[in-house]
Structure 1
Amino acid sequence: MRRRGLVVGGLLTLALGMQPGMSPEAPATAAEQAAEPAPTPVWRVLRAESFTKTLTVNSAPWVRDPQTATSRWAVDQFDDNGRVWHAISDPAMTRQLRTMNVYRKRVAFGTDGWLTAEVAAVDKNRNGIPDSQPGLATTVLPDGQRAARISEPSWDAGVVIRPTRALPAAYRVEMTLRGIDFGGKRHGSLQYAGKTNGYRTGTCKTAFPWTFSGAIPGRPRCRYPSVTKENGFYFLTILDHANGAPHGNAGIHYRRKVVLDSYNSQASWSASNAICNPATGKLESTLAGTYNAVNAAFVRGDAFRRENNNVGNQYFFRTPCGDFDGAGRWGPDGRYRDLASSVELRPELLPTKRYRFAVERDASGYTIELTGPFRHVGQATYRLHHDFVEDGRPIWHYNQTPGEYDGRFDRSLTHTGPAGKYVTRHTWPAGSAYPDSFVIGDPHLNFYEGSAVVDDVRLLVPTG
């Protein structure tokens, strides 16, 4: 088994050991054997975007998404108008989708158009005009540097930056964050600037109509669960397809390989979530934090979340406090479960300070890197690696080509709802392949509200 390196403030320590609920050792595949051991790549910049050229995303026209299987934004059976939701919740799903339209913008930018902005907004009265004006625009920081502002003034919209083409076999992608306002406390309070947890005051901010069980029969929009206790942002998340764009929040949970995000939740189920305190090396309750935590998760390909109707995988968390399997419980008396966040941001230090987030893929697996002035420890860098298959536990859909995977983790999944069930018969068959892509921003059409500033996005590849 490869040893997982953890860099803290420039000093190398080692994160080893099994946690409760981890998969037992399984026979090594060719992919595992090839990953033992792999030299650390030396990277060179292939593409870089520092936003010195004025962005034109906001001036692009809106286009209505037909939400069909042949739509430019279609991905799979978990699309917003996907087969799964109709099978498990019709006629409510069909009826509720007819109450709204989705409008989109897709704009390439950067050298040779290597990046693409995906913007989406809901039109709830179907009058041909999106209900809000999310976007991506050039902004100037106090130091005079130009950057990009992701603006999402309403929860029923989404904005992401993604690569226009799939990522190469080996890469390092990184982004620099200069501002974040997607929930969390500021100076000790969740209420500031007329907002609560990043949401502007207003009624009927609900998850309608996309839940993990499809549409809810007999419930109109305003009787759906409120979203205002949950806010967040995707700093840098690797997807298993090259067509990332905002959709209802359920579907993306089936499409992620590596997650680097925030989930600033005061929902009742979040009381048992944990945050690593890097200064003590111990987990603390999320209730003791500032709701500005960063999740560094490798998505498991061998375990799924029944609480999410099997529409999404379990997580494996690497933190400065150790490794934690999302399918288990941790801490004294098993008081923590579900989420183990790695660090906490200090948003009040931005834009003077900055955070850099990176994900690398090499011949052995994926590495998450976090750098910045984190709570409790100040300026530090953490590198968290997971092999493609480690201790018998695979990263979901890690194979970019059929030859990297032999089909051993394929299985069926059953999704149930008020109208019936849908069976995904092959989740990961032999002969399959899944390109890597990434999203930065908010990919949810029915969750999250706020703004963020990004001043650098870079793609690096190995030298030679």
Structure 2
Amino acid sequence: MKKRTTCVLLLSIALLLGQTNVVAAKKTETDNNRGWKLQYHEKFNQKLPVDEAPWVMDNYGETSPWNVDHLDDDGEFFKVKGGTEFEKQLNSFHLLRKRVNFGKDGWLTAEVAARDYDKDGTPDTNASLKNVKLNRGNHSAELSTSFDSGLIIRSTDALPSEYRIEYKLRNIDFGGQRNGTFDYDDKHNGYTLEKRKSNFPWKRSGDFSGDASHNNPNFGDVTKENGYYFLSIMDYENPAPHNNVFIHNHRKLGMDAYNVSGPWAKAYGVCDPSTGELYSQTSEKSSNNAINGIFFAGDTFRDESIGYNSFMFETECGSFSDQDTPYSIISNAEIQPELMPEETYTFAIERSKTGYVMEMTGNFKYIRQKTLRYERDFIENGRPIWHYNNTPEQYDGKFNSTLTFTGPYGSYSVEQWPDDSAYPDYFIIGIPHINYYEGSAIIDDIKLYVPKKS
């Protein structure tokens, strides 16, 4: 493991040096970006074109612009699991989408997905990306979704072979505790409570029969699980929101929130960066607002039944995998949403010739203002990052395997990483699920850096 942590203790500096804290913060940003040239910077000071863009019905299948593979929303995976009952559930509504370019040269794309339950051509669920102006005058964008919609911001084109992508998070309301409770603002864990909210019509297995609605008890309530993708790198072209099974086979690395109010949160641990010790998300130390910085393994799966990659963690408490710790997730630190928008958090990912870096900066629980930065080679200690290769020449097929997906209505097999494969890097911010997670986030200052010419 190669790990570098940069500390910016702004509060202490402020007490000692007054205005010097501003200089220190700027110096740290310069240091982090040394060797990089700014190519694009989205400040959200121009009107976003998302609302005016027309909705398009996703007709699914190989001709759909959003078709990817067997885990698609109409994919073979769900057909062998649910058969005609799944198809009945899926066909009970229309899935409407938007793909909208924005920013200089159209370098960013908003991918929006919403459901049309009565099939009248108008969404019946919420997914929006709008301009907002904060009290300090900052121009930003508010991303919001209901649990049965999805919205991400992504790179329009594949990222270059070396890059740094970063942005600023100014506010967030996708669950977790506020002031010691999951119940606040007439919501539970970030979800409004006016109706039952379920993962209908997509799930890993089980009975798909029954009413075509969220009241169908064969589909699970989702309100004890909320989250947000701070910044992640996907392995396929033109990422867009899909069912939540889909994404578990398509991430290279990323930082996300998974805020759980259910008892299974005891399986998740958080690193206390101030002591180097782990604590449970069900302990009094946790506010359930953790950042899960994960490098996804390319040699093992935590659940082969859906092609769900194993996790590799780099933290201030050490290096872990989900196979050598009692916790199935180990988070890097916890954000403090109560301090926002006065306090902000910056998330960044870098790709070099040899590996990736994840970086998070902000006022974290127990350590206050700090930058946490973690680096991992494409292949380190014999373990690869999933689908790291942008070209076939970067990979020799060593980690390929074949998984078989089986259900009551058949089975099929898929090679996972063949030797002639290549996987582009696309970043995403937001909610890539269309049957989980609900809330809003305010984002700003999306920047793409490329290497300076020597």
Q: How far is the alpha carbon of 1:265 from its aligned partner?
A: 1.1
- Per the alignment, residue 298 of structure 2 pairs with 301
Equivalent position to 2:316, from 291, 311, 320: 320
User: 1:451 pairs with 440, 443, 451, which one?
Assistant: 440
Asked if structure 1 preserves the Cα contact closer than 8 Å seen for 2:269 and 2:278, the reply is yes
**One-letter amino acid of the counterpart of residue 343, structure 1:** A
Q: Aligned partners of 1:134, 1:285: CA distance in 2, in Å?
A: 33
Out of 273, 277, 280, the residue aligned to residue 272 of structure 2 is 277
Counterpart position of 2:197: 205
Distance in 1, Cα, partners of 2:96 & 2:302: 31
Confirm or deny: 8 A CA contact 1:150 1:452 kept in the other structure: yes
Tell whether 2:231 aligns with 1:236: yes
Residue 7 of structure 2 aligns with an amino acid whose one-letter code is G
**1:290 counterpart residue number:** 287
- Look up the match of 1:7: 5
Which amino acid in 2 is paired with 1:5? K
Tell me if structure 1 keeps the 8 A contact 2:93–2:115. Answer: yes
Answer yes or no: is 1:413 the counterpart of 2:411.
Answer: no
Give per-residue Cα distances to partners, 1:4-36, cap 9 Å, x unaligned. 12214159xxxxxxxxxxxxxxxxxxxxxxxxx
Is the 2:248–2:306 contact (alpha carbons within 8 Å) kept by the matching residues of 1? no
Give yes or no for contact 2:82–2:208 (8 Å, CA) kept in 1. yes
Aligned partners of 1:209 and 1:215 also within 8 Å: no
Q: Which amino acid aligns with 2:60?
A: Q
SS of the aligned residue for 2:292 comes to strand
> Secondary structure of 1:91's match?
helix
Return the offset for 1:416. Answer: 2.5
What is residue 310 of structure 1 aligned with on the other side? 306
Residue 350 of structure 1: aligned partner: 340
- Runs of 5+ in structure 1 lacking a partner? 12-39, 330-335
Length-normalised TM-score, structure 1: 0.89
Whole-Å separation in 1 of the counterparts to 2:144 and 2:327: 32
3-state SS of the aligned residue for 1:403? Answer: helix
- After TM superposition, the structure 1 = structure 2 runs for residues 110-129 of structure 1, keeping only pairs within 5 Å, are 110-129=103-122
1:461 aligns with 2:454: no
Kindly provide the amino acid, as one letter, of the partner of residue 394 in structure 1.
P
Q: 1:214 to 1:106 in 2, by over 3 A?
A: farther
Cα distance per residue 1:55-102 (max 9 Å; x no partner): 121222211111121111111111101122213321222121111110
Pick the aligned partner of 2:421 from 415, 424, 432. 432
Tell me the CA shift for residue 421 of structure 1. Answer: 2.4
Q: 1:382, 1:133 → 2: CA distance?
A: 34
Percent sequence identity over aligned pairs: 45
Question: 1:213, 1:418 within 8 Å by CA — same for their partners in 2?
Answer: no
Paired AA for residue 263 in structure 1: Y
Structure 2 Cα separation of the partners of residues 389 and 460 of structure 1 = 24
Question: Structure 1 stretch 95-104 or stretch 136-145: which is displaced more?
Answer: 95-104
SS of the equivalent of 2:5 reads strand
Deviation at 1:134, TM superposition (A): 1.3
Rounded to whole Å, the distance in 1 between the matches of 2:6 and 2:210 is 52
Secondary structure, counterpart of 2:86 in structure 1: helix
Alignment root-mean-square deviation, CA: 1.6
Q: Secondary structure at the match of 1:58?
A: coil
How big is the shift at 1:217? 3.8
- Assess, with a 3 A threshold, how the Cα gap between structure 1 residues 273 and 423 changes in structure 2: closer, same or farther: same
CA contact (8 A) 1:183 1:232 kept: yes
- In 1, Cα distance between equivalents of 2:166 and 2:100: 20
2:70 aligned to 77, 88, 93, which one? Answer: 77
Specify every segment of 5 or more residues in structure 2 that has no aligned partner in the other structure, as ranges: 10-32
AA matched with 1:454: I
In 2: Cα distance, 1:438 partner to 1:48 partner? 15
Tell me the distance in 1 between the aligned counterparts of 2:268 and 2:244: 20
Cα distance change, pair 274–219 in 1 and its aligned pair in 2 (3 A): farther
Aligned 8 A contact 1:89 1:420 in 2? no
* Matching residue of 1:31: none
Q: Give, in angstroms, the shift of residue 401 of structure 1.
A: 0.4
Alpha-carbon distance between aligned partners in 1 of 2:307 and 2:438, rounded to the nearest angstrom: 23
- Cα distance between partner residues in 1 of 2:207 and 2:51: 32
Contact 1:328 1:338 in 2 (8 A): no
The answer to whether the Cα contact below 8 Å between 1:412 and 1:423 also exists between their aligned partners in 2 is yes
Tell me, yes or no, if the aligned pair for 1:85 and 1:214 is still in contact at 8 Å.
Answer: no
Normalised by the length of structure 2, the TM-score is 0.91
Q: Aligned partner of 2:118: which letter? A: N
CA–CA separation in structure 2 for the residues paired with 1:422 and 1:41: 48
Does residue 173 of structure 2 align to residue 176 of structure 1?
no
**Equivalent-residue separation in structure 1 for 2:441 and 2:204 (angstroms):** 27
Give the direction of change, closer, same or farther, for the CA distance of 1:338–1:72 in structure 2 (3 Å limit): same
Maintained 8 Å contact 2:6/2:372: yes
Which stretch of structure 1 is more off in the superposition, 63-72 or 226-235? 63-72
User: Residues 29-48 of structure 1, C-alpha deviation per residue, up to 9 Å, x if partnerless?
Assistant: xxxxxxxxxxx971111111
**1:369 alignment partner in structure 2:** 359
Q: Deviations over 1:295-314 (max 9, x none)?
A: 000000111122x6233211
Contact 2:80-2:408 at 8 Å conserved across structures: no
Q: Counterpart amino acid of 1:322?
A: G
Match of 2:23 in 1: none
Cα separation, 1, equivalents of 2:186 and 2:296: 36
Where 2:282 maps in the other structure, the secondary structure is helix
| Residue 347 (structure 2) pairs with residue 386 (structure 1) | no
Deviations 1:145-175 (CA, angstroms, capped at 9, x unpaired):
10000011x2100110001100000000001
Indicate the residue corresponding to 2:30 in structure 1. Answer: none
Alignment match of 1:87 (pick from 74, 80, 83): 80
Partners of 1:391 and 1:140 in 2: how far apart? 47
Please report how far the alpha carbon of residue 370 of structure 1 lies from its aligned counterpart in structure 2 after TM superposition. 0.6
Q: Does the CA contact (< 8 Å) of 1:96 and 1:215 recur in 2?
A: no
Structure 1 residues 215 and 366, CA gap change in structure 2 (3 angstroms): farther
Aligned-partner Cα distance in 2 for 1:422–1:197? 38
Offset of residue 144 of structure 1: 0.6
Distance (Å, rounded) in 2 between the aligned partners of 1:62 and 1:212: 29
Cα deviation 1:353-392 (Å, max 9, x = unaligned): 1100000000110100010000001000011111100111
